[in-house]
Amino acid sequence: MTALVQVEQVHKSFPLGATQVHALRGISLQVHAGEFMAVVGASGSGKSTLLNMIGCLDEPDQGRVLLGGQDVSHLSDRERSQLRNRKIGFIFQSFNLVPVLSVAENVELPLLLHKELSRQARTERVAQALADVDLSTFAQQFPDKLSGGQRQRVAIARALVTQPDLVLADEPTANLDSETTQRLVELMADLNKKRHVTFVFSTHDEKLMGRVDRLVRIRDGQEVSAS
Amino acid sequence: MIAATWRVAWRNLWRNRRRNLATLAAIAFGYMGLVLLGGYAVRVEHFLRTNAVYLQHAGHVAIWQKEGLDRASAEPVAYQLDPTAQKAVLDWAKGDARVERAGAYLLGVGMAGNACTTQPAMLLGVDPPLLQALLDHPEVKEASPELAATAQGTWLAAHSEVATPIAVAAGLQSVLQKPKVLDQTKGQPPAPSVLACDTPAMATQLAADADIQLIGQTYDGMLSALDGQMVGTFHAPEQTAEDAQIIMPLAKLRELLATDRASYVALFLHDARDAPAVAADLGRALQAKGLKVDTYTYTDEVWSPYYVGTMAFLGSMVGFITLLVSVVLVFTVAGAMTLTILERTREIGTWRALGFERRYMLGLLLREALLLSLLGLAIGLVLGLSGAAAINAGGFRFAPPGVAGTIAFLIKPAAWSCALQAALMPPGVLLATWWVSRSQLRKSPVTLLTAPTA
């Protein structure tokens, strides 16, 4: 398998009052293309920080992160923005849909930056993404009319609509009931297989843990085991 | 993409309706006040300009003998325009399409008497047809119909059969105790040849005719007198003239003062904005003929001090209030936008995570602020214009300071004044929004996404 993501000796710390919190302490990791993997660990272990580094949402203090062989650790804000838009899809714990946009508009949002796409092409992509998550009939609804599970499916469609190399999902099932979680996990696993999109989760969820190809456990900002 | 951004900005305005409606109301009512204030200033300017140019006979451009404005009253022979100079100016005016009318004026001082007492009088000599044309001018009819109308009787031109028709300011008429104008005394028994002054019969005898004796000093130092017939009375545009001014035919004042000179020649233009150019062109033309003259426009403080001084005060007052209101409104919008940005911190983080750059987010926030302010201005404009129409329909009257009598209280918002007063808002709002959003937008996406605000 090709290494889509390489995390090499990454350190990250944050100021918290007068002290520094060391969220990542020299962690190294590889994610292969097409993988369906999860990063697990206790709260504060550094899972989200690690995903933020991989997702170019934050910069490491030391070490480097390579995405498709390109060092993305110290790119400009503009380059990181473009990279996130083109290569990475995000699924957030709180769904993070834009409330003033309809379901279709939310899904279309990242495509607005794809100037090479015509309006027609964007519409087709949105329709396909909504069909993939079985929400075609909700296209014109607004997020406040949807259930939690439906909102997270919209978020999945938005993450996949740009046809990214990698989807990062930070605790995607934390706000969902077990039945919805089960359906959502199956949906993401299915999309992973059908579309060969790489999924990396951070999670506490046993259902999700049991469904992934690989589990990486971290504690105090370091990898402790992989399975 | 741009259309989508405007659409999102528009929808975002409705997310916190109560706050944005309050902000919108603040902008709308603030701007409505500015529209009304600006409309009042426009009305006052039009009123004062019309009075200065047409009713105080300053003209848009006035030509005096060199230094005549300062010295003609003391040395009229040396500092008034002789017939050659008058003709040169009037001939030039006839040939210039920008000039609507022109006429010579003679100013003098003298005494006005009723056969019992005499009072000092300011005499203004003007050709009656020119006077009538100025009083009938559409601008005068629109801006100052009250002062163009006589208080009693008629203006001079209506009584061409009278030897010396005069129009007397109402204050002077009262001092002279002559209650009736010529038309009102027709058919009455004549007054005795010698009046019983300081007796109870005096009032009746003074009311028997409209005769006023005018006494002046000729330019060669002799006393001179004329019997004038008071055909009309009027309220002077300036309070200082109300107790002293008499308007009479130019020829008759020349006869009284035994002169063929004129204090100045006034030019009345089709377009007031041409005044500086006309003054300059005329000055050059007369200089080329070897005439030594001074030209003044109605905006020269030495020639129209009341108009210029009042407008300077009014302009600075309106400007200051406009600035003050605009600053308050800009801070109101800035406050609303600060809350908006804080409330939407995580959402901004989401947009950033999806690949939207800082400048795009700034553009979105600027659009929201701009839409809010433009919408408020549009509502304020409608309210202001409606308010002005309601006030104008109300028929209110007031006494402006320095002006005799009352005039209609009118609000006349002009497109340029509305635009000028609105012009400060959008750039101010954009600047303030940039200022309040820049610290949030500088943060990394992960800081925004994990912010404690919703």
Name the percent of chain A in helix, strand, coil, to the closest 5.
Answer: 40, 30, 30
Write down the pLDDT at residue B4. 84
Nearest to B297 by CA among B269, B314, B276: B276
Best mutation target among B10, B350, B362 (most A Cβ atoms within 10 Å) is B350
Write down the residue that tokens 């105090």 correspond to.
A220
**Cβ of A85 under 8 Å from any chain B Cβ?**
yes
Write down the pLDDT at residue A227. 66
Task: Give the gap in angstroms from C-alpha A16 to the nearest C-alpha of chain B.
Answer: 13
pTM of the model: 0.81
Is B355–A55 a contact, with Cβ atoms under 8 angstroms apart? no
Asked if residues B39 and B414 have their Cβ atoms less than 8 Å apart, the reply is yes
Is A84–B355 a contact, with Cβ atoms under 8 angstroms apart? yes
User: Phi and psi (nearest 5°) for B396?
Assistant: -75, 150
Nearest to B292 by CA among B58, B59, B91, B85: B85
User: Phi and psi (nearest 5°) for B249?
Assistant: -60, 140
Question: Mean pLDDT of successive 10-residue segments in chain B (454 residues)?
Answer: 85 88 94 95 92 94 95 90 96 96 96 92 96 96 90 94 95 93 87 80 86 93 94 88 95 96 97 96 94 95 92 93 93 90 93 95 94 95 97 89 78 94 91 92 91 69
Asked if residues B53 and B311 have their Cβ atoms less than 8 Å apart, the reply is no
Is A98–B445 a contact, with Cβ atoms under 8 angstroms apart? no
Judge whether residue A161 has pLDDT over 80.
Answer: yes
Best mutation target among A51, A112, A123 (most B Cβ atoms within 10 Å) is A112
**Cβ of B331 under 8 Å from any chain A Cβ?**
no
Is B11–A101 a contact, with Cβ atoms under 8 angstroms apart? yes
Is A57–B12 a contact, with Cβ atoms under 8 angstroms apart? no
Task: Give the gap in angstroms from C-alpha A53 to the nearest C-alpha of chain B.
Answer: 10
Q: What percent of chain A has pLDDT over 90?
A: 70
Position A44 confidence tier, pLDDT thresholds 50, 70, 90: confident
Instruction: Select the more confidently predicted residue: B17 or A145.
Output: A145
Find all residues with CB under 8 Å of B422, minimum gap 6, and list them. B31, B34, B377, B381
**pLDDT tens per residue, range B171-209:** 999 999 999 999 999 888 877 777 778 888 888 888 888
**Cβ of B444 under 8 Å from any chain A Cβ?**
yes
Task: Give the gap in angstroms from C-alpha B380 to the nearest C-alpha of chain A.
Answer: 27
Which residues in chain A have their CB less than 8 angstroms from residue B452's CB? none
Q: Check if the interface score ipTM surpasses 0.90.
A: yes
Q: How far apart are the first and last CA of chain B?
A: 26
Range A50-77 average pLDDT: 93
Is B8–A113 a contact, with Cβ atoms under 8 angstroms apart? no
**pLDDT tens per residue, range A75-109:** 999 999 999 999 999 999 889 999 999 999 999 99
**Cβ of A96 under 8 Å from any chain B Cβ?**
yes
Write down the pLDDT at residue B236. 86
**pLDDT tens per residue, range A185-201:** 888 899 899 888 999 99
